[in-house]
Structure 1
């Protein structure tokens, strides 16, 4: 029997990824949509039948709490503004609903650790699971690159160059909470955790990053507080690497490159090159479909959440990005990483 699920939040990502992923998941049945306004909930639900709508302006009986009280809804996909997520996650878990919340896990490491500690001490995780979405861990090109790096032996050196320009007519920039961010890093936080997750996936848990030193700056005055970070990092095995991220750059790069014991592996946009031999990876989606399907499988099987959806993995992603930002504030001071797994 399919699990009743509700989508919480009706932004761009819900429209483009969450809704199609739920519809494609054989183990899930969409029962409800919640959004701050009824209009936005209606927009997301357009063309979808037998879905109940909840919002803050829908009157008595149609609030988020009312949705949580429904026994036919067992799971939630929560994709709200970064600052709003923790409150909604806690309420859902206390109501006995399984949760897949969007990255980043929280606005900063302190908030994430507090939320994780609360979950571990207040919720029976064998009965109610909390997963944190990171679709890059499901994208074919990153999985393929990670496989090839393993085949090439220990990583000795690496570099990540991801540069683009978020223009003022960009649909994500036009989201108010992103346009005027009340959290560290702005687009560097929102988009940068994806890149950190991709890098961590390819490096693997046996050679995690241990230290970072970075410089940060704001190239575009409409992308506060900073839009660019350039970092030097080191790993447990002694490998060194460079992470250069910018959403305010005139460059257009998306390159992850690894010099290993047996050769070089390069992921450049949708191609993976291994010792000069190029493998084009046909785009098969952004990974949200298999991510949501695995969340449903975890609920059905019971027990712990899949490791790549664990809050601990999301905390590790956030820590790297946060320490890059904090090192930049300290003019490049070397900062140790504590929560890598």
Structure 2
């Protein structure tokens, strides 16, 4: 039987309640919710009831939950501009933590988190759940079948959703983090993209703001150059008018191609085509699959549990360094757009 860790939640808003808590509760042999803190205490009390946390374990201050000796690990969901200071406080109290993406509000803060992570043996997981999805693993398994990888097209686009429950959160309406929704949601897509084709070295992009409620630019069209020499296009945005919500990732090789379809409402499918020409082409396989019902969230927490109980940070999948790269790609795209689409190098931590 695995070691059970007591977990304290910092930031008990919508995503903590509706997504993180159910994922934690599914892992009841590995985690027990024991404490909560929110700047609005009433929200923490409400969360505690759903998590079966005694009300006396709802903390009045961040320092109080950080100092709680009954808390083994922290689940941190705060406005992104507070990620760095909150992680610094967690590490100073010896608390391993999982903290929501994007890694930070700025590249300077993100770079400081990478430095913090390298300075300690305390595990830090950045909650980029797309790194844990089956789709990436399947694509990597099939990749050798298409020969030398040459290029890619990645598209994740959809219509503006007036019912988005996250839309009216103050830190999203007036984002202090670079790119607003482009980094908040875009790092998910970039996590999958870079998992398969590797790090991106430069970006040429155009962005613009379509919706006032986005608070910042909210659509992105770009071309990218990977460190491996692979070239491709990346298109992202959910601020358009009526359109189908599409997710597709096509990887082109000199001996075939992989086409992943993760569009809303459709079965998840990867089509493997092989052959070095039209005359030799064939559909070798069509792989249909399902992601787990927490869409990678439970996997994040299992990863944290493994790192803590084994005292081994090397097992962490979603590291600060990887998360820095995803945010740095967004930063490069925004800089490129300001310069009329000039090619911009992606910064290193």
State the TM-score, normalized to the length of structure 2: 0.88
Indicate how the Cα distance of structure 1 residues 305 and 105 shifts in structure 2: closer, same or farther if over 3 A, else same: farther
Residue 265 of structure 2 corresponds to none
Give the distance between the partners of 1:94 and 1:281, measured in 2 at CA. Answer: 42
Tell me if the contact between 1:7 and 1:18 (Cα under 8 Å) persists in the aligned partners: no
For the pair 1:324 / 2:333, whether they are aligned, the reply is: yes
Query: How far apart are 1:118 and its partner, in Å?
Result: 3.6
Q: Is the alpha carbon distance of 1:209 and 1:36 closer, same or farther for their aligned partners in structure 2, counting shifts above 3 Å?
A: same
Shift of 1:165: 2.6
Please list the CA deviations of residues 178-228 of structure 1 after superposition, one character each: whole Å capped at 9, or x if unmatched.
122222211111000000001011214xxx321111011122233232111
2:271 pairs with 1:278: no
Q: How does 1:105-254 map to 2 (within 5 A)?
A: 105-121=103-119, 124-125=120-121, 128-204=122-198, 208-250=199-241, 251=243, 252-254=245-247
Cα RMSD, aligned residues only:
1.9
Shift of 1:63: 1.6
Q: Name the counterpart of 2:40.
A: 37
SS of residue in 2 equivalent to 1:245: strand
Query: How far did residue 330 of structure 1 move?
Result: 1.3
Match of 2:250? 257
**Alignment-derived partner of residue 322 in structure 2:** 313
Rounded to whole Å, the distance in 2 between the matches of 1:240 and 1:212 is 10
Distance 1:253 1:82 in 2: 27
> Alpha-carbon deviation of 1:307?
4.2
The aligned residue for residue 63 of structure 1 is 61
Q: Are the counterparts in 1 of residues 307 and 316 from structure 2 also a CA contact under 8 Å?
A: no
How much does 1:10 deviate?
Answer: 1.4
Residue matched to 1:78: 76
Measured in 1, the distance between the counterparts of 2:161 and 2:56 equals 33
Which runs of 5 or more structure 1 residues have no equivalent in the other structure? Answer: 56-60
1:173 shift after superposition: 0.6
1:23-54 CA distance string (max 9 Å, x none): 22222221111111122112323333244566
**Is the partner of 1:107 in helix, strand or coil?**
coil
SS of the residue 1:147 aligns to: helix
1:192 and 1:272 map into 2 onto residues whose CA distance is: 21
* Alignment correspondent of 2:24: 22
Counterparts of 1:53 and 1:195, CA distance in 2 = 40
Query: Do 1:158 and 1:242's aligned partners in 2 also have CA atoms closer than 8 Å?
Result: yes
Q: CA deviation at 1:309?
A: 2.0
Residue 274 to residue 62, structure 1, CA distance change in 2 (3 Å): same
Asked whether the 8 Å contact 1:35–1:54 carries over to 2, the reply is no
How far is the alpha carbon of 1:88 from its aligned partner?
Answer: 1.2
Residues 133-168 of structure 1 show CA distances to partners (whole Å, capped at 9, x for unaligned) of: 210011122321232224433320101111113333
Choose 219-228 or 87-96, whichever is displaced more. Answer: 219-228
- The number of aligned residues is 328
| Residue segments in structure 2 that go unaligned for 5+ positions in a row | 263-267, 274-282
Distance 2:153 2:192 in 1: 12
What's the counterpart of residue 58 of structure 1?
none
Question: Is the alpha carbon distance of 1:107 and 1:219 closer, same or farther for their aligned partners in structure 2, counting shifts above 3 Å?
Answer: same
2:342 aligned to 321, 326, 333, which one? 333
Q: Secondary structure at the match of 2:74?
A: strand
When normalised by structure 1's length, the TM-score is 0.90
Q: Secondary structure at the match of 2:161?
A: coil
Partners of 1:159 and 1:212 lie apart in 2 by 14
- Distance (Å, rounded) in 1 between the aligned partners of 2:324 and 2:343: 20
Q: Where does residue 49 of structure 1 map in the other structure?
A: 52
Structure 1 CA distance for aligned equivalents of residues 17 and 286 of structure 2? 34
